């Protein structure tokens, strides 16, 4: 099955080259990555506002750009809706005029009917006569969405749609935006540099770094199987660590890290078999590290695999959880500055175990929670 959206774009600018290729199916594709990675540039190429040097862009089987066939559909004829960062609402027009702006070719009555329908559907009917400067941030976002959606675009582009909003509003509007995108069933491409936002909105996440795509995957796959150490770092995974391979089999990998012998699950489907003594990167989610309770007797290595011992050298309160930075007793430089592993525990656990007083802890990591990253 061919995908709804095929993008292949090369653009050379002074001091920056965008060279990306990815595809997306139905739903929302999020372009995620640090600022300056080329995400907005890609949107502008999709909308026809920027002409790539070479490449090919296909939406729903319709070729919008193809450098080898000299196809370059102008933005006016692409049927691609664009929600700009900061929304770009026309300040000299009312909400209704903004939403109806893209409907000029239609007869007056049809235009009015469609405008009214869109306003109603987005809960903007009462604001039809207002000017953009009289609206709240959330209302502006809905007007910008309405203006783009009124023309029934084949593809909707959103550039950092939530960045213009205050933090508390962002969260509420992120979910509202998600609901609107699901409700209208328009294929959409959203640009963001906030991973939580990306994860909440996306069906597929395309990770950008320095003008290239480093991974394109369904969102859960990205979170549990990042393609490389650098992707893991870009998406903000914590405890990304480096060790040495001892032995690799199709279903287990033994590795040495900070003087410890650790055992991790290998995925047979991936059949990743690095040679002994080669370097290997892996990560451990802070919430998957288990502290060993001292009131239950000595730890049993048969139940507690990958057992280690260390000192809490720092902790931070995140409201509902505590983040502990633990330094191993092993000699040598700690793996992450002044600590080796970050461990996250719920508030209740922190209080019951009296971690604020007691800083010496044994902990274990299940082999299934050590995720090996392909080199």
Partner 1 sequence: MSGDTVSALELSLRVAVLATVVNAVIGIPLAYALARRRFRGKAVVDLLVTLPLVLPPTVTGYYLIVLLGRRGWLGAPLYQATGWTIAFTWYAAVVAATVMALPLLVRTARAAIESVDRDLEKAAYTLGRSEWRTALEVTLPLARNGILAGLVLAFARALGEFGATLMLAGNIPGRTTTVPLAIYTAVQTGESAAALALVGILTALSCVVLVVAGRLGARAT
Q: Which of 112, 70, 73 is nearest to 94 (CA)?
A: 112
Residue 262, number of CB atoms within 10 A of its CB = 22
What the block records as the tokens of 220 is 């859960």
- Buried residues in 234-261 as b, exposed as e (16+ CB within 10 A): bbebbbbbebebeebeeeebbbebbeee
Residue whose structure tokens are 């933090």? 167
Among 21, 49, 299, 313, binds partner 1 (CB under 8 A): 49
Identity of the residue, 92 or 302, whose beta carbon is nearer to partner 1 in the bound complex:
92
How big, in percent rounded to 5, are the helix, strand and coil portions of the chain? 30, 35, 35
Give the nearest distance from C-beta 182 to partner 1 in angstroms.
Answer: 23
Among 53, 90, 268, 346, binds partner 1 (CB under 8 A): 90
Binding residues for partner 1, rule CB under 8 A, total 25
Secondary structure letter of residue 102 according to DSSP: G
Contacts (CB under 8 A) with partner 1, residues 50-89: 74-78, 80-82, 84-86, 88
Distance CA 226, CA 348 (A): 31
155 binds partner 1 (CB under 8 A): no
16 binds partner 1 (CB under 8 A): no
14 binds partner 1 (CB under 8 A): no
Identity of the residue, 40 or 216, whose beta carbon is nearer to partner 1 in the bound complex:
40
Among 15, 91, 168, 319, binds partner 1 (CB under 8 A): 91
Give the nearest distance from C-beta 117 to partner 1 in angstroms.
Answer: 17
Which of these ranges, 29-37, 147-155, 175-183, 267-275, lies near partner 1 under the rule CB under 8 A? 147-155
Identity of the residue, 132 or 211, whose beta carbon is nearer to partner 1 in the bound complex:
132
133 binds partner 1 (CB under 8 A): no
142 binds partner 1 (CB under 8 A): no
Q: Which of 223, 220, 270 is nearest to 248 (CA)?
A: 270
Distance CA 155, CA 276 (A): 49
Q: Which of 164, 40, 173, 150 is nearest to 98 (CA)?
A: 150
207 binds partner 1 (CB under 8 A): no
The residue ranges that bind partner 1 (CB under 8 A) are: 47-49, 74-78, 80-82, 84-86, 88, 90-92, 101-102, 104-105, 147-148, 151
């Amino acid at each position: 099955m061919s995908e709804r959206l095929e993008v292949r774009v090369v653009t050379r600018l002074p001091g920056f080259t965008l060279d990306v290729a990815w595809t997306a199916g139905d739903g929302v594709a999020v372009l995620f990555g640090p600022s300056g990675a080329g995400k907005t540039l890609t949107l502008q190429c999709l909308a026809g506002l920027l002409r790539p040097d070479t490449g090919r862009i296909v939406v729903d089987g319709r070729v919008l750009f193809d450098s080898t066939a000299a196809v370059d559909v102008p933005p006016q004829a692409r049927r691609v809706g664009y929600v700009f960062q900061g929304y770009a609402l026309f300040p000299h027009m009312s909400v209704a005029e903004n939403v109806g702006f893209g409907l000029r070719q239609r007869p007056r009555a049809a235009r009015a009917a469609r405008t009214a329908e869109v306003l109603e559907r987005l809960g903007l009917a009462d604001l039809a006569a207002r000017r953009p400067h009289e609206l709240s941030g959330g209302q502006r976002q809905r007007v910008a969405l309405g203006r783009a959606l009124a023309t029934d675009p084949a593809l909707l582009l959103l550039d950092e749609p939530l960045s213009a909003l205050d933090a508390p509003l962002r969260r509420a509007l992120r979910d509202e935006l998600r609901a609107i995108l699901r409700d209208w069933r328009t294929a959409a491409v959203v640009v963001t540099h906030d991973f939580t936002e990306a994860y909440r909105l996306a069906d597929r996440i395309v990770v950008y770094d320095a003008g290239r795509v480093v991974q394109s995957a369904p969102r859960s796959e990205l979170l549990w199987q990042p393609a490389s150490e650098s992707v893991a770092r870009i998406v903000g995974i914590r405890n990304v660590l480096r060790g040495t391979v001892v032995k690799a089999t199709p279903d287990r990998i033994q590795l040495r890290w900070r003087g410890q012998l650790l055992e991790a699950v290998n995925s047979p489907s991936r059949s990743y078999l690095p040679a002994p003594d080669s370097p290997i990167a892996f990560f451990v989610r802070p919430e998957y590290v288990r502290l060993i309770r001292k009131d239950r007797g000595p730890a049993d290595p048969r139940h507690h695999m990958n057992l280690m011992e260390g000192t809490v050298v720092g902790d931070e309160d995140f409201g509902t959880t505590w983040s502990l930075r633990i330094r191993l007793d092993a000699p040598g430089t700690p793996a992450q500055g002044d600590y080796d592993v970050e461990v996250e525990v719920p508030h209740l656990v922190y209080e019951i175990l009296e971690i604020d007083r007691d800083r010496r802890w044994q902990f274990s990591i299940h082999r299934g929670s050590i995720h090996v990253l392909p080199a």
